Amino acid sequence: MSDRHLGHHPHEHPHRPSVRHRLAHLLTPHSHETADKLDPALESSARGMRALWVSLAVLGGTALAQAGVVAVSGSVALLGDTVHNAADALTAVPLAIAFALGRRAPTRRFTYGYGRAEDLAGIAIVLTIAASAVFAAWTAVDRLLDPRPVAHVPAVAVAAVVGFAGNEWVARYRIRVGRAIGSAALVADGLHARTDGFTSLAVLAGAGGAALGWRLADPLVGLAITAAIGLVLRDAAREVFRRVMDAVDPALVDRAERALGEVAGVREVGELRLRWIGHRLRAEVTVVVDGETTVRQAHAVAVEAEHALLHALPGLTAALVHADPAPAPGETDPHLRLAHHVTA
C-alpha cells in the first residue's frame, strides 16, 4: 500500500460526507495542515513576535540607562555589560524577521514554508554573542594594561542592579514563551539574557572592589563577564546546531512510539521521524498493520495513528502516516529485502 492511499486527512466536516466525497478522500493524499492546525501555529508566531518586541523595549531601556552611567564613570566592566545588553536587545531583529517569514504560506519552491528562517536567526544570535564576548575581552585586557580609576561608583552599582533585574525578567519571559511555542532560537536568546543578568551582578562586585580602591577589580570583572558570555555561547551554539541538524528530544520519540503502540490495528511501529521546522514539529511514521487489512481499513488505522500523534505531541502541526502490511508467514518484508540489496 502506498502513502497516497494511506495518508492523513483533515477532519473539518461536521456532517456526514457523501459517498463521492469519501471515495475522493480515500484516493488522495492527506495531511493535517488544515486551518485548525495553522491557526495555533500562527498564534505561536504572534506570541514569539510579542515576546521579542517586549524584551527589545526592556533591554533597550536597560542598555540606554547603563550607557549613561558608563559615560560618566568610565567603568569597563559596565561597558562590557552594556554592550552585551545592547547586542541581546538587537538579536530581536533577526528573530522578528524569522517569525514574520515563518508565517508566510508555503510555495512551490519552498514547499515546507519558511520556518527554517528561525534556524538562520539562531546562527545570527550565536555570532552576536561571540562578537560581544570578543569586545568584552578586548576592553577588559586593555584596562588591565592601562588601569584607571572608576568614578561615580554608587551609580555603577545601581546600573548593575538595573541590568540584572531587566535581564532576568527578559530571560524568564523569553524562555517561557520559547518553550511554549517550541522555538529553540528564542530559548537560546533567553539563556543569553539570563547570563547577561549574572554578568550585571559581576559588575556590582567590581564596583565594590573599586570602592575599596582596587583598580584591577573592574577589568578583572570584565574578564569574568567574558568567560560567562563564553559559557552562554557554548550552550546557545549547541542548541542551534542541534536544531539545524534536525535533532529532537528523544523523549518526544518515546512519547510518539507509546501513543502509536496504543492505536488499535497497529501491530508495530516502523520508521519514525520527527523534525522541527522553525517552531513547528512535523512527523513521518510507518506503522505495520495486518496483511489482510483492506485499503479502507488501513486508511482508518492511519487516521487514528495520526490523531494519536497530534494528541501526544502538542507542538505537532503535520504528520504523515504510511501503513505497511505485515508479511505473511514465510514471506520476507519487502522493505527489508530492499534495505539488504542497498547495503550489500
- Rounded CA-CA distance 169/171 in Å is 5
Same domain, 163 and 268: no
Same domain, 232 and 150: yes
Assigned domain for 7 exists:
yes
Same domain, 220 and 97: yes
Same domain, 80 and 213: yes
Same domain, 299 and 212: no
- Report which of residues 28 and 87 the model is more confident about: 87
Q: What is the CATH number of the domain that holds 50?
A: 1.20.1510.10
pLDDT of residue 41: 46
Which range, 44-48, 123-127, 333-337, has the best average confidence (pLDDT)? Answer: 123-127
Boundaries of domain holding 329: 3-30+248-343
Q: What is the CATH number of the domain that holds 24?
A: 3.30.70.1350
Average pLDDT over residues 239-262: 91
Assigned domain for 175 exists:
yes
Each residue's pLDDT tens digit, 276-293: 887 788 999 999 999 888
Same domain, 200 and 279: no
CA distances from 224 to 58, 77, 171, 175, 201 (A): 24, 9, 20, 24, 11
Cell numbers at 216, concatenated: 584591577
Each residue's pLDDT tens digit, 171-189: 888 888 888 877 777 787 7
Same domain, 192 and 332: no
Q: Could you tell me which of 63, 135, 144, 59 has the C-alpha nearest to residue 93?
A: 59
- What is the overall mean pLDDT for the chain? 76
pLDDT of residue 312: 92
Same domain, 238 and 111: yes
Assigned domain for 36 exists:
no
pLDDT of residue 223: 82
Assigned domain for 232 exists:
yes
Please say which residue of 199, 221, 244 terminates a domain: 244
Across-strand partners of 319? 283
Average pLDDT over residues 205-219: 75
Which H, E and C letters describe 49-66, residue by residue?
Answer: HHHHHHHHHHHHHHHHHH
> How many domains does the chain contain in total?
2
Assigned domain for 35 exists:
no
CA angle 36, 37, 42 (to 5 degrees): 105
Same domain, 90 and 155: yes
Same domain, 211 and 255: no
Please say which residue of 209, 244, 279 terminates a domain: 244
Assigned domain for 319 exists:
yes
Whole-prediction pTM: 0.64
Please say which residue of 225, 244, 263 terminates a domain: 244
Same domain, 145 and 276: no
Same domain, 215 and 80: yes
- Report which of residues 319 and 81 the model is more confident about: 319
Assigned domain for 295 exists:
yes
pLDDT of residue 86: 80
**What sections of the chain are H helices per DSSP?**
3-6, 19-26, 35-73, 76-90, 92-102, 117-145, 153-181, 184-211, 217-244, 250-261, 295-312, 334-343
Confidence of residue 344 (pLDDT cuts 50, 70, 90): very low
Assigned domain for 119 exists:
yes
